[in-house]
Structure 1
Amino acid sequence: MDDISKPSIESRINKLKNLPALPEASVRILEAVNDPDVEIEKLVKVISLSPALVARLLGLANSAFFGQLNQIDDLHTAIVRVLGLQMVKSLSLGILLNVQLDPKHCKGFDSQSFWMHSLITAVAAQKLANAHAWQSLSSANAYTCGLLLHIGILVAAYAFPEELDGILSHESNSYLHVETEIQRRFGQSHYQMGYILLKKWQLPEFYQSMLSQFTNTEMPENQVELNRCLHASQQICYSILDQEADDTGLDLIAATAGLPLETVGKVFSALLESKDNVQKLAAEMGGW
């Protein structure tokens, strides 16, 4: 923390309390996407309160990632035929966060890279949850948690653009470096920053607790499975995005998470094979 004095750190952390509030329409959309029993018709109606969100979801449905032959021009069709209910709910959550926290003042922030990390982590978590069948963890929740895991970096880009730009200018492609430097310079991790945001916006306690407890070595028993899944997913993501992109270290990831090496290997291989497609989706989301 030698780059910024302690009083300066405290004033910057206090700034997090002044993060923007959500517009009423966004509050209603978040309530809908976090309702496990919401019907497609109701979700379409609520999402339609935000024309920008509708446009972005339609843009995704028609993107190269999904490879649709015919133009998709209404949200109901996009959900039923292309995106799927769970993906729409998760991506709507991510898009709303991205809209409210404009990172444009942080010149070094790469939105495509951010979404690439978030999407790969989310898909890895979903696949691990499906393959391992943890009793207390659904694949849908695992996906959303993976998507939100690095949201604190977006918070930092919005609230502390100059400081984060200084970090990114040194090694912008390494989220391990970014994580370490945010903790060192602010005395607070980006997971804690993300937690402050989710708490302020009153997202479900499940997601708040996921971020607040992520680096805690002594966590509630009911969160151990989620934590193991997310740590493994994060490490798989780093391996996928590494320049070498090989399976070195998968045995350690599996052992740390208490997962079969075969399971981790299959998830790694599937994501490596679909990396280009995920990159197309990240480019769509990062271009907003």
Structure 2
Amino acid sequence: MTETIRLRLDVSYDGAEFSGWAAQPGRRTVAGVLVEALQRILGASGPETPLGLTVAGRTDAGVHATGQVCHIDFPAERYAELSASLLRRLSALMPPDARVKSVVPVPDTFDARFSATFRRYEYRVCDDGWGPEPLRRYDTLGWPRPLDLDRLNAGAAGLLGEHDFAAFCKRKEHATTIRAIARLDWRREADRTLVLTVQADAFCQAMVRSLVGAMLAVGEGRRAPEWPAKLLTLRERSSEVAVAPAHGLTLVAVGYPEADEYAARADATRRLRA
């Protein structure tokens, strides 16, 4: 059996031309181009997702990342040969819309998905009549009507904390929709773009974009600030909630505990998700 070393990879990508993170036959995905680059470096063919490639959060098609994290189990002997040049080799082989920003050895107890303590996303919206700056068109949603910052934050306030977010999720069989949101707030930046920051232990599929869709309805005055929180009483997805477009969403950070707590955190997360 080949001895391996676990490596943490920090990854950024422009999601516009990707069909999400996860490898899919016949589709261009972030995992797909990363695996292809790693296979070329190793000079070997293998399964579609070799090396135990595990990611912190499987982003959907069109969603971006500046702080994605994944891990692989790399052949130890080859890493000893390539450690000084691995990042440079990946930079040469990866496409311009996906970058590996760092490669560092981590303990075998590190799990990019289950050891994570939080995921943080941002969602960008421009409500100026002329739309987003052309250079930001791929990561900023243009909104045709004025949005009120105070109303957006009032709508967000009732969603903080631990709740069953079934009304905002695409339910998966045998998976919980209970999540704990630690941060949910809007700000207006100097260029007048509105930016939502949302942080939680984890998110269900389409949850963040559904939360954004509900809060935008509040921000433009179509719904009362209390409306998003009232939906938390539902136990299935609400047809009244619009899912905001993917391109405004970016995964900006994933948090982890100290190294000696990786295994305990992973075990606790697995129990919680079960």
How does the TM-score come out when normalised to structure 2? 0.28
Flag the structure with higher helix content: 1
Q: Which has the higher strand share?
A: 2
Structure 1 length normalisation: TM-score?
Answer: 0.27
